[in-house]
Structure 1
């Protein structure tokens, strides 16, 4: 996991422990696995709620960004029409 995230093993472990301590994930060891490092990290109900809240905030920010871009595009179109109109009038 640390390698995939591009962080040290210590940093990955520290973060995983913090998530475990907050009750946002739970860890399950696959005892029958030949790979003794095989673990599953699962979202707890609290973790799912936190993830849903984070996703909702992210979407709210993205929708606001989209609306701001739409307003900017509308203003640019209006400015473009005004420029073209003044070019036609004043040449």
Structure 2
């Protein structure tokens, strides 16, 4: 099984996690939390809506778009779990590689420093 993910999957996972914790976040608030442009956030939210991973729900009688919440659908909850598992595997692999590199650097430093 391949655990490679698309570059946009990380943003999708971040959006899903943020919206799960606070469905009332506006796209502007999501943009700030993600550290990306409002346009990129809008693109990501639209992609998640198109895939059926989130849905918009009016949570108050308002014509104002701020009156909407983004809710994860059952497919969104499943996708979030799958993406989380994939990223966990990737991060653990990166951690192990970094740990090995740090140990090698420590050995090299110890071998070069005769005082130790």
Which segments of 5 or more consecutive residues in structure 2 lack a partner in the other structure? 1-25, 32-36
Asked if 1:51 is matched to 2:76, the reply is no
For structure 1, list consecutive stretches of 5 or more residues without a partner in the other structure. Answer: none
List aligned pairs for 1:1-91, cutoff 5 A.
1-4=26-29, 5=31, 6-8=37-39, 12=42, 15-32=44-61, 34=62, 36-37=64-65, 38-84=67-113, 87=114
- Count residues with an aligned counterpart: 82
TM-score (norm 1): 0.68
Q: Which has the larger radius of gyration?
A: 1
Q: Tell me which of the two structures has the higher relative contact order, counting C-alpha pairs closer than 8 angstroms and 6 or more residues apart.
A: 2
Contact 2:60–2:68, Cα closer than 8 Å, also in 1: no
RMSD of the TM alignment (CA)?
2.5
Instruction: Give the alignment's TM-score, normalised by structure 2.
Output: 0.56
